[in-house]
Amino acid sequence: MPSARLTRAQTAGYAAGSVGTGGFGTLPGLVLAYYLTDTLGVAAVLAAVVVLLPKVWDVVIDPAIGARSDHELSSRGSRHRLMALGALTLPPGFIGMFAVPSGLSSGLAAVWVVVAFVLATTSFSLFQVPYIAVPADLTNDYAERTRMMAWRVGVLALAILVFGAGAPGVRDALGGGRSGYLVMAVVSAIVLSLGMLATVASLRGHESHTAHRGSGEAPPSFRAGLDAIRELPRYRSLLVVFVLQALATGIVLAAAQYVATYLLGSQSMVSVLFAAVVAPALVVMPAWKRYAATHGKRTAYLASSWLFVVACVVQVPALALGWTWLSVLALAGGGVAYAGMQLFPLAMLPDVIEEAGRARGGAMSGVWTALETAGLALGPGVVLLMLAVGGFVSSTGDPVAQPRGAEVAMGLAFTVVPALLAVVSIAALRRYVEPEVVLDGV
C-alpha cells in the first residue's frame, strides 16, 4: 500500500466530496424542522417523527452499503461505482423534500416529506459510506491522513458556511414560503451532486494499488462492521465519542433557526449565526494540524471537545441577557472547536481501520455513518420534542408569539444539552489509546 505523500490533485479531489456531505448534513438539519412546523403547519410532535423515520432507514442500510463497497473493492478494485450512483440520484429526492404541493393537509404533507427524505437519504448513503472508507485505501501514513482530512474538513467548513448561511439567504431573498424553499432546494441539489461527482472523478485510477482483487479473500459480510464494535475497543470508543458529538451538533443545528427567530428576533439571523460558527474553521485548520503533529490526535481531539463545552456554556448568559454580540463570539469559539471535532475523528478512523484490516473498511465505515446519521437525525427530533413539551405553537405563515416554556426549551437545546453531551463524549474519548501500529510509524 502506498505511504507516500498524496498529490495536491488527489487530496483536493477527495476533499471536494465534502461539498456534498457538508451540504446534505447541514441543510435538512437546519431548515427541515422549521419548514415543517412554520411553513407546512405540521405539529411539532409529528414533525419529529418525519425527521426521524428516514434516518432510521439510513441506520439500517448503511452497514449493508458498507459491506457492498468492500465487495466492490475486492472484485473491481474500487469503491467509486456506488459513490457515482449516489451522486447522480440524490437531486430528485432532495428537491422533493421541499416540493410539497400546495393544498395537501399537514398530515399528507408530512408523508410526502418522509418519502422524499428516504429517497434522498438512500442516495446520500451510497456516496457517503464508501467515501468514509476511502482514506484508509489511499494511504497508510499517520500524518498524511491528518493532512488529507484537514483539506476535507476545510472544504466541509466552507460547504457548511455556504449551505448554512447562503441557502436560507436564497430562501429569504425570494420571500420565504414554499417557492423560496423550492428554489433553495434546486440550487442546493445541483451543487451537492457536482461536488460528489468531482470526488468520484478524482478516484479513478487511484484506488487500484489498495485493491484486494485477486487475493482470494472473501469480502466482509454485513455483520463485519457490527463485529468490529465488539472486537475493537479503539473503534468502539471513537465511535461513541463521534456519535455523541454528532447528536450535540444536530441539536445545535436544529435549534439555531428557532433561536434566531424567537430569541434573537430575526429569522435571517440564522445566517449570521452560521457564519460565526463556520468562518473560524476556514482559518484554524493549519493550527489544529500542527497541534496534532506535536501532541497527537487524541490530545488535540480532547482540546477541541473541551473548547466546545466552554462555548456552549458561554451561550447561557448571552441568550439570557439578550447579548447578541456575546452569542456570536461564543459561536466563533465553537467554530474553532467544531473544526477540530470534525478533523480528528476522521483522521483517527483510518488509523483504526488500518489496524483492523482494510478489507472490512467499508463495513466499519457503514456502521460509523449509520450511527453518525442517527446522532444527527436525533438532534432535530430532540429539539422538536423539547419544543412540544414547552408548548410550541406551529404556524403556516409568519412566526407567532411563543409561550415562555417554548423559549426556554430553545435556549436549553442551544446551550446546556449539547454541552452535557460533549462532556460525556470526553469521558469516552479518554479511554481511546492510539493504535500501536500507528504510533510505531510516527
Q: What is the predicted pLDDT for the residue at 209?
A: 43
Q: Is residue 2 part of a domain?
A: no
The total of other beta-carbon atoms located within 10 Å of residue 358's CB is 21
Q: Is residue 314 part of a domain?
A: yes
Three-state SS at 63: helix
Residues of the chain with pLDDT under 50: 1-3, 208-219, 437-442
Q: What is the predicted pLDDT for the residue at 69?
A: 83
Q: What is the predicted pLDDT for the residue at 225?
A: 66
Q: What is the predicted pLDDT for the residue at 112?
A: 95
- Rounded Cα gap, residues 288 and 339, in angstroms: 8
In the chain, the number of structural domains is 1
- pLDDT tens digit string along 141-158? 667 777 777 778 778 878
Helical packing angle, 361-390 and 233-258, nearest 10°: 40
Cell 476545510, residue located: 154
Q: Is residue 240 part of a domain?
A: yes
**Cell of residue 237, nine digits:** 470508543
Domain of 398 in residue numbering reads as 9-210+219-439
Helical packing angle, 177-203 and 106-138, nearest 10°: 20
Write the DSSP string, 375-391.
Answer: HHHHHHHHHHHHHHHHT
Q: Is residue 339 part of a domain?
A: yes
**Cell of residue 136, nine digits:** 484508509
Q: Is residue 3 part of a domain?
A: no
Global pTM value: 0.71
**Cell of residue 337, nine digits:** 472547536
Q: Is residue 378 part of a domain?
A: yes
What single-letter amino acid sits at 318? A
Write the DSSP string, 102-117.
Answer: TT--HHHHHHHHHHHH
Q: Is residue 71 part of a domain?
A: yes
Q: Is residue 101 part of a domain?
A: yes
Going by C-alpha positions, the residue among 182, 213, 207, 172 that lies closest to residue 83 is 207
Contacts of 399 (CB under 8 A, 6+ apart): 38, 261, 262, 267
Three-state SS at 79: coil
Q: What is the CATH number of the domain that holds 231?
A: 1.20.1250.20
What are the φ/ψ torsions at residue 433 (nearest 5 degrees)?
-120, 135
Write the DSSP string, 296-349.
Answer: -HHHHHHHHHHHHHHHHHHHHHHHHHT-HHHHHHHHHHHHHHHHHHHHHHHHHH
Contacts of 229 (CB under 8 A, 6+ apart): 235, 236, 239, 367
